[in-house]
Structure 1
Amino acid sequence: MENKLIVSSSPHVRSNQDTSYIMKQVVIATFVTMVGMLLKAYIPALGDALGLFIPLIVVNCLILARAESFASKNTPIKSAVDGIGMGLGFTLALTALGVVREILGNGTLFGMGLFGASYQPALLFILPPGAFLSLGFLLAGFNKLKNKKA
């Protein structure tokens, strides 16, 4: 409900589908983060038990919003094929992000050391901000490859 109220309050957002989509995700992420913080502050046992599952709500909302956006404009068959493709795409993207963070943050892959005992891992990459940096590096690499092919 808050999402629709906030998004609909801006005429610029309502007129642009892409902006509306991004705005909805930001609003959802904000509210989910606030709920997670409130749980940890006032009901620590529940906050600890739920742990990582609360932030995963944002990922689910992202996938569902994208599916809703595509399905509203296409046939069920096209929507199903798109859903499978998007699911595989998200899986590959999250796996690539995890591999980059594991290699840079721990110097390992599947528990095996890659760089020897003298390697000093970049601990930033195993922290939440490291996910954003890793994503930025991956996107920069893909953009460079994309521009090279064009």
Structure 2
Amino acid sequence: MAKTLTQEFTKGLWAEIPPFRLVLGLCPTLAITNTVENAYGMGIAVTFVLTFSNIMISAMRKIIPPKVRIVAFIVAIATFVCVVELVMQAYTYSLFMKLGIYIPLIVVNCIIMGRAEAFASRYGIMRSMLDGLGLGIGYTLALSTLATFREIIATGSITLYEKPIAVLGASFEPFKFLVAAPGAFICLGLMLGIMNILGKK
């Protein structure tokens, strides 16, 4: 049975939330969730690109030749990634520098490419827009949740607008390894386990 428009949007918030359910887009998930600020910035960037690339690809789906569809998808996605880069350089340059190579790598993000191929190229504009928006918001929530846990346990504070906000007391002994790559894997594994437990209830 076809999903309603509401279901198309909400599926990305839980049932298909990346990276906890689809297990896609793990490179930036592991690399940039050392601070909440980075996670939030990357989430918004991916949401923008995912939503608008879905709209463009859906609108052009009937005129894109099947043999060159992947190239067309990449061009469409890259267009919006360029917009994100220019806006971030103009208004949030420090965040842009922190995210570094992971902004241009949005072009080949598995989540965005996957939705272009599996959804936007097959469904109408409204459904594709809601699909992209829902998964983008879900991705932002996933990154922010993971980053919040990592940053609080590793530093005892949360960084927003380049200002650390103390969460735990001065007596707290931080687990600094959680901001490193091994800590990212451990935290992601814990989150995946929690999601699997909650999903079975």
* Higher mean C-alpha deviation, range 64-73 or range 119-128: 64-73
Larger radius of gyration: 1
Mapped pair 1:75 → 2:124: yes
Give the whole-Å Cα distance in 2 for the aligned partners of 1:141 and 1:133.
12
Shift of 1:51: 6.3
- 2:153 equivalent among 104, 109, 128: 104
Unaligned 5+ segments in structure 2 are 1-21, 28-95
More helix by share: 1
RMSD of aligned alpha carbons? 2.9
Residues 117 and 50 of structure 1: CA distance in aligned 2, closer, same or farther (over 3 Å)? closer
1:32-53 superposed Cα distances (whole Å, 9 cap, x missing partner): xxxxxxxxxxxxxxxxx96642
1:9-20 equivalences in 2 (<5 Å): none
Residues 119 and 50 of structure 1: CA distance in aligned 2, closer, same or farther (over 3 Å)? closer
Give the TM-score normalised by structure 1. Answer: 0.57
2:102 maps to what in 1?
A: 55
2:113 maps to what in 1?
A: 65
Q: What letter is aligned with 1:124?
A: F
Q: What letter is aligned with 1:74?
A: Y
1:124 maps to what in 2?
A: 177
Give the whole-Å Cα distance in 1 for the aligned partners of 2:199 and 2:152.
24
1:90 maps to what in 2?
A: 139
Identity of aligned residues (%): 33
Give the TM-score normalised by structure 2. Answer: 0.44
Are 1:25 and 1:58, in contact at CA under 8 Å, matched by a contact in 2?
A: no
Q: What letter is aligned with 1:54?
A: I
1:19 maps to what in 2?
A: none
Shift of 1:25: 7.1
Unaligned 5+ segments in structure 1 are 1-21, 30-48
Give the whole-Å Cα distance in 2 for the aligned partners of 1:101 and 1:94.
10
Are 2:146 and 2:187, in contact at CA under 8 Å, matched by a contact in 1?
A: yes
Shift of 1:85: 0.4
1:23-78 superposed Cα distances (whole Å, 9 cap, x missing partner): x979xx6xxxxxxxxxxxxxxxxxxx966421344445233213212212322221
